[in-house]
C-alpha cells in the first residue's frame, strides 16, 4: 500500500499495516526532518525493520540531497541477512508499483569469513585464520613479490578485482552476502573488497555494530562514509556493552609470554633484514622522519588492525625520535613488556587510573607518554616494513601496543585493575591486568557527531531515558510504542511462591536453599505438563544453572520432566549448544515437545528467536543481575554515579531487567504468535523492577498476576493456552490491530494511533 | 479333552474362574481350565491367540492372572490355594512368559493385515469378491502384488500405524526399590530393554557380544545398573567396567554430531557473531577455567549426558522415517525433494563425496535451506493477503527425463526442444507474412453449409447430442460395469506386470494370467454382455473392455510366437 506520512509518500510492501507501524514511521520521519537523533522502542514482531526501511527509503527517494545513505547496523549475521531480504521485498514492491527499474544499491557487509570465495582461504574455520590467510595473499609487498616471482601465491580474486573491479561500479540492486559471493564468483572478483569498496557509493549499507563502533575497524571500513547518512542501530539494547568491549583490553601472563616471543621474532627479523636489505629500514626511517601519514601510503589490504583510538585522538604529528629506528622501537617494546611483567607479579589487587599508571611507568622505566601514544602506529609500520606474512601470530604484541596507545591517550573514563588471582581460587596465581573502559559514550561519540541522524531502536529499551544518559547524547525524539492486540497473546505471570508458600527467589541468600530449588523444579515440571511444544527456561548464570540441574537430577525432578518433554541444555561450548538447539527445534517440530534450559546474557538469549511452537512459554528463573562482586563492574558503577548521576542500584536493576525482557521477549515474534512469560522470582512484583520492563509487557501485568503460587500459575496458564489455541483469523484482527488503507485513513483511527506512541 | 499328543507342562489346582473352582493346565500349545469334578475344559486358549498376560499387584488380597487375547477378550484366573497361591501364580506366570514369545511369532500377522485391508477398502473387497471368490484367480495371486504395493503405499502416506517413539523417561521408569536387605531391585520390562537398545546402540552391541557367552542376562543388567554409565553424574574412572567403552563411544558420537554442525544457519551460534573481538579485548574475562572442581565436572557431565540422551531418543524415533525417505528415493530417484536433503544425511553425504572431495561444495546445498529459513523469518502472515499454498520445490537432477517421461528407446524420433522452438518460430514467421488471397476463397454457400454441418445437431456433430451414459443406463448396470472395469483392470495389471518376461516364474505367471483373463471373459464379461443385450442397451458399453482384453491377447500371442520361434 501507499501511505502518506505527513506529506511523504511511503511505499509499504504489504496489503495491511499494524497501527504501531504507522505511528513508528511518523516518529521516525520527525527525527529525520529535525536532522537529529532518536530513541524508539517497539515490541519485537511488529515489523520494526520493514517500517524503518520503508520510511527511510521513501525519504531518500524524496529528498536525495538531504539523506544520501542509510547505514543499518544489526547485531548478528542472520539479522543482517534478514534485513537485506526485507529490503529486497520492499524494492520489488517499488518496481512493481512504479514500473521503473530500481536504481538503488544496497548491500550487506560482513567479515571475510562470510564473504571469502577463495577455495583455500574460505575453508578455514575461524574468522581470525581467514583474515590472516587473506592478508598473506593480498598484502602489497606479497603482490610486489609476485610480480618478480610468479610462484609466490596471491589471491586471484583480489588481483582481478584490483585490476578491473573499481572502474565500473557494481550494478544497482540488492546484494545479500550470498548474492555478493555469487556476483564475485561470476566476475572472478573478491566479494569482500568489492563490498568494502562499494559501500562508499551504496545507498544502503547493512553491517554489524563493530564496523561503526570499534575504532580499530571503523577507521578502516567506515571512514569515508558520507555525513548525510542516517545510522540505525537495531536491537540496540546492549549497545553500551558493545562500545565498552571495543575499547577494553585484558592482559594475562600468557599474553606477555607470547609477546616475548613476538619481540624476539621481530628482533631476529630486523637483524636479518639489516644484513640483507638495510635500505628498506632506512627508507622506513626516512618516511617516519618526514612524518608521512601511514594511511596515505598504505594500501587497503595492508592494514590489519587500525589504530585503537578514535580518529580525532590520533595525533597528526611525526612519530617521536626515540622510537623511529626499528631497533630503538624493539628496545622500547622490551622495556614496556618488562614493566608490565613486573606489574603482574604483585600479590594484592591494584586499581589505578590512567594518569597514575603513566606516572608510575615514567618513574620506573622512564617511558614517556608521547612514544606510548604512537606505539600502535609505529608497530604497524614496522610489521609492514618487515613484510611479516602471518600477522595473526602477532596479535599479542598488537594487543600490547593498543593498550599502550589507549592508556596514554585517554585520561578519563578508563580504569586499570590488576588482579593477582581469581576470587574463587585465591591460591592459584593467575594475574590479569584489566584495562577497562567505563564510559560507553567515548566509543559512540564520533558516530553521533559525524552523522546527521542516529536512530537507536529495539524491542526492549526501557527505561528510555537511561540510554541518552549513558551514551551522552541529546535525542530529538524518544518514544515507546505498545503492541495493539486483538487478543492478548502474551501472558506475563510473576510467580513468587511455591505451593508450600516458600518464597521463590534467586536472591543470593536463598539461591542455594533446597526449598527454592525444589520449587523451581516443580514449576518447570508442572509447566512441562500443560504447555504444548517448546518451553525455554533461562537461568541467571551458567554456574547457577549447573547447580540447579545437578540437584534436580538428584531429586529426580528431571526424570519426571522427561516424561513430558525432552530436555536440552545450553553449554559453554557454542557448537554443542547449536546442536542442542537444532535438536530442540526438531523435537518441537515433530510434536514431542522439548525444554531448553538456557542462560540469560548467553548466546541463545541474545541471538535466537523462538517463534510460535518453538517457544510457547518462557520461564525466567530469578532476576539476571550481573555478577556484582566484580571489580570492573564496581568501578563502572562508581563512574556512572560520579559522571552521570545514575545510582548503582538503578543501573543494576535496569541492566537485569533489560536482560530479563530480552529473554522473555524471545517467545513473542508477532501478533499471530502467543506465549507465556513466567517471571519466577518474587522480586519482579516490586514496582521498581516491574516498572523497568518494556511498556508492551508491563501493561499486561495485572495486579492479579503478581506473586502467584505455582498452582495459580498453572491454572492461569491453562486458561490462557486454551484460549490462544482457538483459531485466529485475519477478520479478528482487522480494524483493531491490523488496518487496511481505508481504515488507516479514518479520523478516528488516526486519533487512536497518536496515542500509541508514548513520549518519554 | 486333552489330546493324547499334548504334553501337560504344569497343573495348578484350586484355581477359580468365574467363581468356580477348577484346575489350570498349561500344555505345549494351549492353556486350559476345567471346573472341578468335570472331565472337560470350559476354557481353552491357544498360546498363539494370547496377546499378553497381566498379574495382580503384589499387595492385593486376590492373587490373579489375566490373559488378554488378540480379539480383545480376557480371561481371569484367581489362585485360591491360600498357602501356595503366590507361588502357583508365579510358576504359571513364568512358564507363560517363556511360552508366549515363541508363539507370538507364529501368529499370522499377514492374515490380520489382509483382513484389515479388506475391511478398510470397499473397492478392494469388491475386487476380492469378483476375482477370488468367483475363482478367477487364486488368493495368493491376488495378494502377491497387493501386499508389496500396499506396504510401500502405506508407509508413504503414513496410513499405517505410526512407529511408537521412545519415552524420554524410560530410564526413570526403572524405579529402583529396596528389597529390604540393603539391596536395590530394578524392574526391567522388555519395552524398557528395547528402548535402551534403540537409544544406545552401543549397549545393544555390548549385549550381543557378552550375552550369553560371558554373562547371563541378569548379570549383564546388574552390571549395567552398577556402571557409571547408568548413573550419569558419576565420572568415568574404572577401566574394568564393560560399559566404559560405551561411554567413550557416546562421547565420540556426541563429538561427531557437534563437528557435523547444524544445517539450519539460523541456529548456528558459531556463525552468529559477525566480528568477534580478538582475544584479549573486551571487558568480560572468560578465561580458560582450568581450576574446575570435581563437583563442577560432574555437573557438566550431567548436562552433556542429558543433551546426548535427548538427541539419541529423538534420533531413535527418526531413524524409521529416514529409512522410508531413503526407500522413497530409491523408487523415485528423480524426485529428490528438497525437504529430504535436510533429513537424509546419507543422501547428502554421497552427494558431497561425489564431487571430487571438495568439502566446500556442501556450500552449494546450503543456500536453498538458508533462503527458505530467511524467507520464513521475515514473513508476516497477517500483513499479507492470502499467500498461496506452500509448495514443495522439485529438485530435479535430470529435468530432461522428467519433462519427457520415460520413453522407450525404439520409439520414433521425438522432437527436441530446439526443434520445437525452431518450428514455432517458423510458423510465427509464416503467419507474420501471411496474406489472405481474396480471389481464391470458398463460395459463401459452401462455407455456410460447412458451418451448419459443424454446429451442434449438424451432420458432423451427431455425437455431441448423444446423451451421457449415466442417463441412458440404469444404475445397477452402471455399478456392475464399474466392478467389471476394476476387476478387468486388476487382472490386466497382473498380466502386464509380467512383461518383460525374463524369468521362468514370470513365464508361468503370464500363461496363467492369460487363462485367467479368458476365464474372466467367459464367466463375467459374457453374461454381462448378454444381459445388456437383453435389455436393449447399446453394446458398445463393453467394447472398450473387449479392446483392452484383446490387446492383452495380442501381446500374449506375439510373445508366444516369438518364444516359439526362439525355441525352434
Verify that A262 and A306 share a domain, yes or no: yes
Q: Under an 8 A CB cutoff, do A85 and B378 touch? A: yes
Verify that A282 and A375 share a domain, yes or no: yes
Q: Under an 8 A CB cutoff, do B306 and A128 touch? A: no
Is B279 part of the contact surface with chain A (CB cutoff 8 Å)?
yes
CA A367/CA A323 separation, integer angstroms = 11
Which residues of chain B neighbour A434 with C-beta distances below 8 Å? 283, 285
CA A178/CA B374 separation, integer angstroms = 12
Verify that A289 and A328 share a domain, yes or no: yes
**What's the burial of A601, exposed, middle or buried (CB within 10 Å: 0-12/13-18/19+)?**
buried
Q: Under an 8 A CB cutoff, do B382 and A671 touch? A: yes
Summarised one tens digit per residue, pLDDT across range A410-430 is 988 999 999 888 777 778 888
Average pLDDT over residues A283-308: 62
In a 13 Å sphere around the CA of A173, the CA atoms on its Cβ side amount to: 10
Domain count, chain A: 3
List, as one string, the DSSP characters of B220-289: HHHHHHHSTTTSTTS----SS-TTHHHHHHHHHHHHHHHHH--S-GGG-GGGTBSSPPPTTBSS------
**What's the burial of A176, exposed, middle or buried (CB within 10 Å: 0-12/13-18/19+)?**
buried
Q: Which helix (H) or strand (E) holds A680?
A: strand A675-680
> If contacts are CB pairs under 8 Å, which of residues 332-371 in chain B contact chain A?
358-360, 367, 370-371
CA B162/CA B184 separation, integer angstroms = 36
* pLDDT at residue B330 in the model: 43
Statement: residue A475 has pLDDT above 90: yes
Which residues of chain A neighbour B314 with C-beta distances below 8 Å? 566, 583, 586-587, 590, 592
> Is A7 part of a structural domain of the chain?
no
Per DSSP, the three-state class of A347 is coil
Q: Is the pTM of this model over 0.90?
A: no
> If contacts are CB pairs under 8 Å, which of residues 346-385 in chain A contact chain B?
none
In eight-state DSSP terms, residue A314 is S
Task: Give the residue ranges of chain B where pLDDT is below 50.
Answer: 1-4, 152-160, 285-291, 321-365, 411, 464-465
Is B310 part of the contact surface with chain A (CB cutoff 8 Å)?
yes
> Is A81 part of a structural domain of the chain?
yes
Verify that A474 and A494 share a domain, yes or no: no
In a 13 Å sphere around the CA of B104, the CA atoms on its Cβ side amount to: 10
Verify that A543 and A635 share a domain, yes or no: yes
> Is A25 part of a structural domain of the chain?
no
> If contacts are CB pairs under 8 Å, which of residues 233-272 in chain B contact chain A?
233, 254, 257-259, 261-272
Verify that A374 and A462 share a domain, yes or no: no
User: Closest to B307 (Cβ–Cβ): which among A546, A569, A592?
Assistant: A569
Kindly state the cell numbers that stand for A332: 622500547
Q: CA of A758 to nearest chain B CA: how many angstroms apart?
A: 24
In a 13 Å sphere around the CA of B15, the CA atoms on its Cβ side amount to: 24
Q: Under an 8 A CB cutoff, do B299 and A547 touch? A: yes
> Is A745 part of a structural domain of the chain?
no
* pLDDT at residue A458 in the model: 92
Kindly state the cell numbers that stand for A583: 535438536
CA B490/CA B511 separation, integer angstroms = 16
Is A422 part of the contact surface with chain B (CB cutoff 8 Å)?
yes
* pLDDT at residue A424 in the model: 75
Statement: residue A245 has pLDDT above 80: yes
**Which residues fall within 8 angstroms of residue B501, CB to CB, at 6 or more apart?**
B507, B510, B559
Closest residue in A to B164 (Cα) is A592
Using pLDDT thresholds of 50, 70 and 90, give the confidence band for residue A525: very high
> Is A1 part of a structural domain of the chain?
no
In a 13 Å sphere around the CA of B474, the CA atoms on its Cβ side amount to: 7
In eight-state DSSP terms, residue A739 is B
Per DSSP, the three-state class of A700 is coil
Summarised one tens digit per residue, pLDDT across range A539-555 is 999 989 999 999 998 88
Verify that A360 and A399 share a domain, yes or no: yes
Closest residue in B to A90 (Cα) is B378
Closest residue in A to B358 (Cα) is A119
Verify that A218 and A352 share a domain, yes or no: no
Chain center to CA of B529: 42
> Is A740 part of a structural domain of the chain?
no
* pLDDT at residue B258 in the model: 81
Verify that A468 and A516 share a domain, yes or no: no
The domain that holds A512 is classified in CATH as 3.40.50.300
Which residues of chain A neighbour B312 with C-beta distances below 8 Å? none
* pLDDT at residue A135 in the model: 85
* pLDDT at residue A387 in the model: 81
Which residues of chain A neighbour B303 with C-beta distances below 8 Å? 546, 549, 569, 571
> If contacts are CB pairs under 8 Å, which of residues 610-639 in chain A contact chain B?
632
Query: Which residue has 536532522 as its cell numbers?
Result: A35
**Which residues fall within 8 angstroms of residue A422, CB to CB, at 6 or more apart?**
A428, A430, B291
* pLDDT at residue A35 in the model: 93
Average pLDDT over residues A309-319: 70
CA B561/CA B235 separation, integer angstroms = 78
* pLDDT at residue A567 in the model: 93
Integer CA distances (angstroms), B449 to A268, A699, B437, B464, in order: 108, 82, 22, 18
Is A206 part of the contact surface with chain B (CB cutoff 8 Å)?
no
Q: Under an 8 A CB cutoff, do B264 and A590 touch? A: no
Is A328 part of the contact surface with chain B (CB cutoff 8 Å)?
no
| Mean pLDDT estimate for chain A | 88
Nearest to A749 by CA among A136, A185, A71, A19: A19
Summarised one tens digit per residue, pLDDT across range A331-379 is 999 999 999 999 999 888 999 999 999 999 999 999 989 899 889 888 8
CA B441/CA B418 separation, integer angstroms = 36
> Is A402 part of a structural domain of the chain?
yes
Is A310 part of the contact surface with chain B (CB cutoff 8 Å)?
no
Is A582 part of the contact surface with chain B (CB cutoff 8 Å)?
yes
- The least confident of A83-97, A380-394, A443-457 is A380-394
Verify that A329 and A318 share a domain, yes or no: yes
Statement: residue A124 has pLDDT above 50: yes
* pLDDT at residue B232 in the model: 57
Backbone angles phi, psi at A20, to 5 degrees: -70, -25
CA B286/CA B276 separation, integer angstroms = 14
Using pLDDT thresholds of 50, 70 and 90, give the confidence band for residue A495: very high
Q: Which domain holds residue A142?
A: 40-246+442-480
Per DSSP, the three-state class of A546 is helix
Closest residue in B to A596 (Cα) is B307
Complex ipTM: 0.85
Q: CA of A282 to nearest chain B CA: how many angstroms apart?
A: 33
Instruction: Identify from B199, B274, B291, B372 which residue to disrupt to test chain A contact, counting A C-beta atoms within 10 A and taking the largest count.
Output: B274
| Per-residue burial over B101-118, b = 16 or more CB atoms within 10 Å of its CB, e = otherwise | eeeeeebeeeeebbeebe
The pLDDT > 70 percentage for chain A reads 96
* pLDDT at residue A618 in the model: 95
Summarised one tens digit per residue, pLDDT across range A633-642 is 999 999 999 9
* pLDDT at residue A289 in the model: 75
> If contacts are CB pairs under 8 Å, which of residues 142-181 in chain B contact chain A?
165, 167-169, 171-172
Nearest to A617 by CA among A668, A566, A691, A552: A668
Instruction: Identify from B280, B301, B376 which residue to disrupt to test chain A contact, counting A C-beta atoms within 10 A and taking the largest count.
Output: B280
Closest residue in B to A563 (Cα) is B169
> Is A16 part of a structural domain of the chain?
no
Closest residue in B to A425 (Cα) is B291
Verify that A473 and A607 share a domain, yes or no: no
Average pLDDT over residues A461-472: 90
* pLDDT at residue B231 in the model: 63
Verify that A215 and A328 share a domain, yes or no: no
Is B306 part of the contact surface with chain A (CB cutoff 8 Å)?
yes
* pLDDT at residue B95 in the model: 83
Are the C-beta atoms of residues B278 and A304 closer than 8 Å to each other? no
> If contacts are CB pairs under 8 Å, which of residues 651-680 in chain A contact chain B?
670-672
Is A536 part of the contact surface with chain B (CB cutoff 8 Å)?
no
List, as one string, the DSSP characters of A198-218: HTTT-SEEEEETHHHH-HHHH
Q: CA of B290 to nearest chain A CA: how many angstroms apart?
A: 10
Instruction: Identify from A52, A81, A671 which residue to disrupt to test chain B contact, counting B C-beta atoms within 10 A and taking the largest count.
Output: A81
Is A399 part of the contact surface with chain B (CB cutoff 8 Å)?
yes
Summarised one tens digit per residue, pLDDT across range A23-61 is 999 999 999 999 999 999 998 888 899 999 999 999 999
Is A489 part of the contact surface with chain B (CB cutoff 8 Å)?
no
Amino acid at each position: 500500500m501507499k501511505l502518506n506520512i505527513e506529506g511523504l509518500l511511503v511505499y509499504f510492501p504489504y496489503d495491511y499495516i499494524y497501527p504501531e507501524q504507522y505511528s513508528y514511521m511518523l516518529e521516525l520521519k520527525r527525527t529525520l526532518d529535525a536532522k537529529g537523533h532518536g530513541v524508539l522502542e517497539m515490541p519485537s514482531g511488529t515489523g520494526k525493520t520493514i517500517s524503518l526501511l520503508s520510511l527511510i527509503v521513501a525519504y531518500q527517494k524524496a529528498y536525495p540531497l538531504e539523506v544520501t545513505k542509510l547505514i543499518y547496523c544489526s547485531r548478528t549475521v542472520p539479522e543482517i541477512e534478514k534485513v537485506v531480504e526485507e529490503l529486497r521485498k520492499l524494492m520489488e514492491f517499488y518496481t512493481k508499483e512504479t514500473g521503473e527499474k530500481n536504481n538503488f544499491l544496497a548491500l550487506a557487509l560482513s567479515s571475510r569469513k562470510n564473504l571469502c570465495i577463495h577455495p583455500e582461504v574460505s575453508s578455514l574455520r575461524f574468522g581470525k585464520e581467514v583474515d590472516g590467510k587473506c592478508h598473506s595473499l593480498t598484502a602489497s609487498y606479497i603482490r610486489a613479490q609476485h610480480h618478480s616471482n610468479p610462484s609466490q601465491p596471491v589471491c586471484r580474486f583480489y588481483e582481478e578485482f584490483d585490476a578491473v573491479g573499481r572502474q565500473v561500479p557494481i550494478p544497482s540492486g540488492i546484494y545479500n552476502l550470498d548474492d555478493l559471493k555469487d556476483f564475485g564468483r561470476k566476475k572472478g572478483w573478491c566479494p569482500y573488497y568489492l563490498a568494502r569498496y562499494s559501500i562508499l557509493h551504496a545507498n544502503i549499507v547493512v553491517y554489524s555494530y563493530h564496523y561503526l563502533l570499534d575504532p580499530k575497524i571503523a577507521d578502516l571500513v567506515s571512514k569515508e562514509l558520507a555525513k548525510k547518512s542516517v545510522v540505525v542501530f537495531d536491537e540496540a539494547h546492549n549497545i553500551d556493552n558493545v562500545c565498552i568491549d571495543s575499547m577494553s583490553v585484558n592482559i594475562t601472563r600468557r599474553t606477555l609470554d607470547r609477546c616475548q616471543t613476538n619481540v624476539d621474532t621481530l628482533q631476529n627479523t630486523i637483524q636479518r633484514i639489516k644484513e640483507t636489505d638495510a635500505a628498506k629500514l632506512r627508507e622506513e626511517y626516512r618516511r617516519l622522519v618526514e612524518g608521512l601519514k601511514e594511511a596515505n601510503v598504505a594500501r587497503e589490504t595492508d592494514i590489519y588492525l587500525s589504530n585503537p583510538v578514535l580518529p580525532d585522538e590520533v595525533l597528526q604529528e611525526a612519530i617521536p625520535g626515540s622510537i623511529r629506528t626499528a631497533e630503538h622501537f624493539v628496545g622500547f617494546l622490551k622495556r614496556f613488556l618488562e614493566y608490565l611483567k613486573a606489574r603482574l607479579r604483585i600479590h594484592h589487587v591494584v586499581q589505578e587510573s590512567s594518569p597514575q599508571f603513566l606516572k608510575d611507568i615514567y618513574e620506573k622505566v622512564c617511558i614517556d607518554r608521547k612514544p606510548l601514544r604512537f606505539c600502535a602506529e609505529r608497530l604497524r609500520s614496522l610489521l609492514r616494513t618487515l613484510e611479516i606474512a602471518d600477522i595473526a601470530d602477532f596479535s599479542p604484541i598488537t594487543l600490547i601496543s593498543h593498550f599502550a596507545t589507549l592508556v596514554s591517550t585517554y585520561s578519563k573514563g578508563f580504569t586499570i585493575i590488576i588482579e593477582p588471582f581469581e576470587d574463587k581460587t585465591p591460591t592459584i596465581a593467575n594475574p590479569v591486568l584489566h584495562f577497562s573502559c567505563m564510559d560507553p559514550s567515548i566509543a559512540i561519540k564520533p558516530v553521533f557527531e559525524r552523522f546527521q541522524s542516529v536512530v537507536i531502536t529495539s524491542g526492549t529499551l526501557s527505561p528510555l531515558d537511561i540510554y541518552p544518559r549513558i551514551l551522552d547524547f541529546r535525542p530529538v525524539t524518544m518514544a515507546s510504542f505498545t503492541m495493539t492486540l486483538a487478543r492478548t497473546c502474551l501472558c506475563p505471570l510473576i510467580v513468587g511462591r511455591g505451593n508450600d508458600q516458600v518464597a521463590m527467589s534467586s536472591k543470593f541468600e536463598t539461591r542455594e536453599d533446597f526449598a527454592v530449588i525444589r520449587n523451581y523444579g516443580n514449576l518447570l515440571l508442572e509447566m512441562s505438563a500443560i504447555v504444548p511444544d517448546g518451553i525455554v527456561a533461562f537461568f541467571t548464570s551458567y554456574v547457577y544453572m549447573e547447580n540447579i540441574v545437578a540437584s534436580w537430577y538428584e531429586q529426580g525432578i528431571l526424570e519426571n520432566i522427561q516424561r513430558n518433554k525432552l530436555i536440552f541444555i545450553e553449554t559453554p561450548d557454542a557448537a554443542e549448544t547449536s546442536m542442542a538447539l537444532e535438536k530442540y527445534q526438531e523435537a518441537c517440530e515433530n510434536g514431542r515437545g522439548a525444554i531448553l534450559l538456557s542462560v540469560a546474557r548467553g548466546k541463545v538469549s541474545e541471538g535466537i528467536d523462538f517463534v510460535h511452537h518453538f517457544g510457547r512459554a518462557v520461564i525466567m528463573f530469578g532476576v539476571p543481575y550481573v555478577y556484582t562482586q566484580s571489580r570492573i563492574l564496581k568501578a563502572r558503577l562508581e563512574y556512572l554515579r560520579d559522571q552521570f548521576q545514575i545510582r548503582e542500584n538503578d543501573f543494576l536493576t535496569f541492566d537485569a531487567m533489560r536482560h530479563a525482557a530480552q529473554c522473555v521477549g524471545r517467545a513473542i515474534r508477532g501478533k499471530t504468535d502467543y506465549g507465556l512469560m513466567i517471571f519466577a522470582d518474587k522480586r519482579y512484583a516490586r514496582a521498581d523492577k516491574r516498572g523497568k520492563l518494556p511498556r508492551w509487557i508491563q501493561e499486561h501485568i495485572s495486579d492479579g498476576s503478581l506473586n502467584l503460587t505455582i498452582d495459580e500459575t498453572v491454572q492461569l496458564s491453562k486458561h490462557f493456552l486454551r484460549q490462544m489455541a482457538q483459531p485466529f483469523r485475519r477478520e479478528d484482527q482487522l480494524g483493531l490491530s491490523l488496518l487496511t488503507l481505508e481504515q488507516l485513513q479514518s479520523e478516528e483511527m488516526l486519533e487512536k494511533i497518536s496515542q500509541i506512541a508514548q513520549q518519554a | 479333552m486333552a489330546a493324547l499328543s499334548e504334553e501337560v507342562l504344569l497343573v495348578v489346582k484350586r484355581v477359580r474362574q468365574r467363581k468356580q473352582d477348577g484346575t489350570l493346565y498349561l500344555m505345549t500349545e494351549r492353556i486350559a481350565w476345567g471346573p472341578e469334578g468335570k472331565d472337560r475344559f470350559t476354557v481353552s486358549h491357544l498360546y498363539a491367540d494370547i496377546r499378553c498376560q497381566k498379574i495382580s499387584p503384589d499387595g492385593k488380597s486376590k492373587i490373579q492372572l489375566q490373559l488378554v487375547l488378540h480379539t480383545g477378550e480376557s480371561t481371569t484366573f484367581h489362585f485360591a490355594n491360600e498357602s501356595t497361591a503366590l507361588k502357583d501364580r508365579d510358576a504359571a506366570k513364568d512358564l507363560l512368559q517363556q511360552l508366549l514369545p515363541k508363539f507370538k511369532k507364529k501368529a499370522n500377522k499377514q492374515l490380520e493385515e489382509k483382513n484389515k485391508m479388506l475391511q478398510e477398502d470397499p473397492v478392494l473387497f469388491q475386487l476380492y469378491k469378483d476375482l477370488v471368490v468367483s475363482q478367477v484367480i487364486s488368493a495368493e495371486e491376488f495378494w502377491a502384488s497387493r501386499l508389496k504395493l500396499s506396504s510401500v503405499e502405506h508407509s508413504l502416506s503414513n496410513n499405517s500405524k505410526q512407529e511408537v517413539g521412545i519415552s524420554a523417561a524410560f530410564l526413570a521408569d526403572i524405579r529402583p526399590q529396596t528389597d529390604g536387605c540393603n539391596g536395590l531391585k530394578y524392574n526391567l520390562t522388555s519395552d524398557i530393554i528395547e528402548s535402551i537398545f534403540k537409544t544406545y546402540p552401543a549397549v545393544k552391541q555390548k549385549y550381543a557380544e557378552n550375552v550369553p557367552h560371558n554373562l547371563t542376562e541378569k548379570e549383564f543388567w546388574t552390571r549395567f545398573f552398577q556402571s557409571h554409565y547408568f548413573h550419569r553424574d558419576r565420572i568415568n574412572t574404572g577401566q574394568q567396567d564393560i560399559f566404559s567403552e560405551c561411554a567413550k563411544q557416546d562421547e565420540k558420537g556426541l563429538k561427531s554430531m557437534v563437528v557435523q554442525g547444524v544445517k539450519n544457519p539460523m541456529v548456528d551460534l558459531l556463525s552468529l557473531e559477525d566480528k568477534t573481538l580478538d582475544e584479549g579485548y573486551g571487558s568480560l574475562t572468560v578465561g580458560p577455567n582450568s581450576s574446575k572442581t570435581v563437583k563442577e565436572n560432574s555437573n557438566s557431565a550431567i548436562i552433556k549426558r542429558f543433551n546426548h540422551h535427548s538427541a539419541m531418543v529423538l534420533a531413535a524415533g527418526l531413524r524409521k522415517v529416514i529409512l522410508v525417505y531413503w526407500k522413497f528415493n530409491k523408487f523415485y530417484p528423480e524426485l529428490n525433494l528438497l525437504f529430504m536433503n535436510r533429513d537424509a544425511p546419507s543422501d547428502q553425504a554421497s552427494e558431497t563425496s561425489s564431487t571430487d572431495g571438495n568439502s566446500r561444495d556442501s556450500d552449494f546445498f546450503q543456500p536453498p535451506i538458508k533462503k527458505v529459513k530467511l524467507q520464513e523469518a521475515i514473513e508476516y502472515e497477517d500483513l499479507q493477503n492470502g499467500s498461496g499454498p506452500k509448495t514443495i520445490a522439485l529438485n530435479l537432477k535430470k529435468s530432461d527425463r522428467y519433462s519427457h517421461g520415460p520413453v522407450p528407446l525404439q520409439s520414433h524420433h521425438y522432437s527436441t526442444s530446439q526443434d520445437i522452438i525452431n518450428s514455432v518460430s517458423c510458423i510465427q514467421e509464416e503467419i507474420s507474412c501471411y496474406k489472405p488471397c481474396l480471389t481464391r476463397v470458398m463460395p459463401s454457400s459452401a462455407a455456410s453449409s460447412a458451418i451448419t454441418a459443424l454446429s451442434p445437431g449438424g451432420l458432423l456433430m451427431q455425437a455431441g447430442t448423444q446423451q451421457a451414459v449415466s442417463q441412458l443406463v440404469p444404475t445397477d448396470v452402471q455399478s456392475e460395469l464399474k466392478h467389471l472395469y476394476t476387476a478387468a483392470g486388476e487382472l490386466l495389471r497382473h498380466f502386464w506386470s509380467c512383461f518383460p518376461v525374463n524369468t521362468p516364474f514370470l513365464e508361468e505367471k503370464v500363461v496363467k494370467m492369460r487363462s485367467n483373463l479368458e476365464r474372466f471373459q467367459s464367466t463375467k464379461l459374457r453374461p454381462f454382455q448378454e444381459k445388456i443385450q437383453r435389455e436393449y442397451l447399446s453394446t458398445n458399453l463393453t467394447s472398450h473392455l473387449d479392446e483392452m482384453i484383446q490387446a492383452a491377447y495380442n501381446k500374449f500371442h506375439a510373445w508366444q510366437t516369438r518364444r516359439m520361434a526362439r525355441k525352434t
